[in-house]
Chain A
């Protein structure tokens, strides 16, 4: 029983890594521009496609090269591509609407997401079918008694921790980070003191989208099967996680991501008939948060700003 519990905990952490990374993007975008980017989930699945494609190309062209380098290069390309996609999407679907009713960017980013999804479906070879992510990480792993810790799980976990630390330093210790924070706190004042606001908005979108790319790449490594329409749900989960954690707070997004994953996993595992309605449980948690603590776990500052 206890072993099963530990395994379920591991399952929820693996899922939580992805949710957190997606949620950080949402929170960054919301912090800097006060918008929710509804196509963020499609950045995520786009990255899975990009990662799989480049891995396949590399595996065919350079069969001898050490796989770690291959993975790193493919991941890097996926991150850069997705990052630029994020920048473009911001320029086309968010920048024109900075001053308008917040309903408009909701709809424009939703449409952008649909476009990304449909382009993948139509123009990727056999795009409407489920796709396979090359199995690059060696099987096996560490066995502690009955408790199996797979190699890919270890890789994902370590990498996520590295990203979290990197994000912490980026925001707290670098000029980019402090400028982003300045813009989040007061958009107009930041531009008055000479911060090139548009540039930092682009940088933020690049960072946020490439974090989604990392999550998408992990999605490929962990599940190995993916399809063009799997982005939308991941996006909604990430958005929920960022709201539960507190929109605008990066650390809150991480907590929110793991909380959502925890609720889903344990609902599926321990409630009879729960796996069919696991999303009901996570959404009910979101609703409860919205009703009783709309600012989220760590989100007081943002609400005060309004």
Chain B
């Protein structure tokens, strides 16, 4: 009896050690680039689209045969949670094969991981987080940090300019979600409006996950603003849009920035979406490589659409790969190579200023027309066929 128990233990023991040996196998010249983004959680749609675009760029690089080693993507999930993101960043920098990283859609996650990348001297190219301080503050201090997407203040500035200077709207109401993103939207939109002499009739915050906006909109109705600006993301934006119609606020313009720039908004808000004006960074349809990219993405048969930030993830990969081609798989050399790069990507030519922010900034104004985002210049609203509410 006793012996049988011992034999069982021995078997188990041997099994585990054989597994250890098994684990130590496979050696091949591989260079890894880490991708971190919200692959699960509330922003998974954005994260997966970016991940796929990133993977597409890596596949194309491997297929091109320009690299003497195999490049792999190490996709890590930050779940939009700074703590999980910090784990992921630690995992990335712990892997000696990882030479550089691209990361984050959420600015708070980036704030948690930036010190980790800095301490370990690994370059981080931010593909989707648009908090202003990421480059203005951290990018200035740490050479490891660069960003390929525009900052949030640029988007708001552009929108405020269009609304006030070009369209002549005067009175505004700002609703923002209480996330870091929403709060920054409020700050910069407020500056943009007040600078141009617009009047803000009221400001209110809502929590992410809130669905009942009727009390707030009833209050807005009493104030009767010309424009309602929402600083937040798709789900709440669509809920808000539907309830605006329900509350009878039909003569008010609804507007926002890139947080709304997703086809999902039009689908979910349905007919209520009509006439929503947003601003979105980048002007992909003008770029030569765009149709090829769209086609390649389609051919790769990913399960998820590329989303609003897929293009930036693709270019983030491009920036890292171009630097990799130049200096080889060396973390330290890559840091400065990425900062000083001049790379012709999907959206234009990337260079970085002394805060690591890309100098490539272009904005597109979109309007929701018949359930689609249409470029403002091409829309029936610009031609005068339809009229924006005022």
Contact = CB atoms under 8 A, between A and B. Distances in A.
Interface stretch (A8-16, A104-112, A156-164, A294-302): A8-16
A273 B222 contact: no
Contact of B216 (A1, A15, A268): A268
B13 to A, nearest CB: 34
B205 A276 contact: yes
Contacts, number: 85
B83 interface: no
A275 B211 contact: no
B178 A276 contact: yes
A223 interface: yes
A67 interface: no
B235 A4 contact: no
Interface string B207-234: 1010110111011011000000000001
Nearest to B204: A275
Given A129-B45, A229-B42, A275-B206, A223 B212 contact: yes
Interface string B223-250: 0000000000011001100110010100
Contact of A130 (B215, B234, B246): B234
B238 A11 contact: no
A8 B246 CA distance: 13
B134 interface: no
B132 interface: no
A250 B207 CA distance: 31
A269 B215 contact: yes
Most buried by A among B206, B246, B248, B264: B246
Contact of A4 (B207, B219, B234, B269): B219
Nearest to B206: A275
A227 to B, nearest CB: 6
Interface string B152-187: 000000000000000000000000001000000000
A181 to B, nearest CB: 34
Contacts of A264: 212, 215
Interface string A222-252: 0111110110010000000000000000000
Q: B-side binding surface: helix, strand, loop or mixed?
A: helix
B267 interface: yes
Interface residues of A, number: 35
> Which bucket holds chain B's interface residue count?
20 to 34
A265 interface: yes
Most buried by B among A11, A148, A265, A266: A11
A234 B44 CA distance: 22
Contacts of A8: 215, 218
B243 A223 contact: yes
Nearest to A276: B205
Contacts of B248: 148
A275 B268 CA distance: 23
B270 interface: yes
Contacts of A11: 212, 214-215, 218
A53 interface: no
B268 A276 contact: no
A11 B264 CA distance: 27
A190 to B, nearest CB: 40
Contacts of B212: 11, 15, 223, 264-265
B209 A230 contact: yes
Interface in A240-293: 264-266, 268-269, 273, 275-276, 278-279
Contacts of B268: 129-132, 225
A43 B222 CA distance: 37
B355 to A, nearest CB: 31
A191 interface: no
Interface string B188-215: 0000000000000000111101011011
B173 to A, nearest CB: 12
A177 interface: no
A276 B242 contact: no
A109 to B, nearest CB: 21
Contacts of A129: 45, 264, 268
Contacts of B238: 130, 225
6 contacts: A7-B218, A219-B211, A223-B243, A225-B238, A268-B215, A269-B216
Interface of A: 1, 4, 7-8, 11-12, 14-15, 128-132, 135, 148, 150, 219, 223-227, 229-230, 233, 264-266, 268-269, 273, 275-276, 278-279
- List 7 tightest A-B contacts by C-beta distance, closest first: A276-B205, A268-B215, A11-B214, A269-B215, A130-B235, A265-B215, A7-B218
Given A226-B211, A265-B212, A269-B216, 4 more contacts: A130-B238, A131-B268, A225-B242, A275-B204
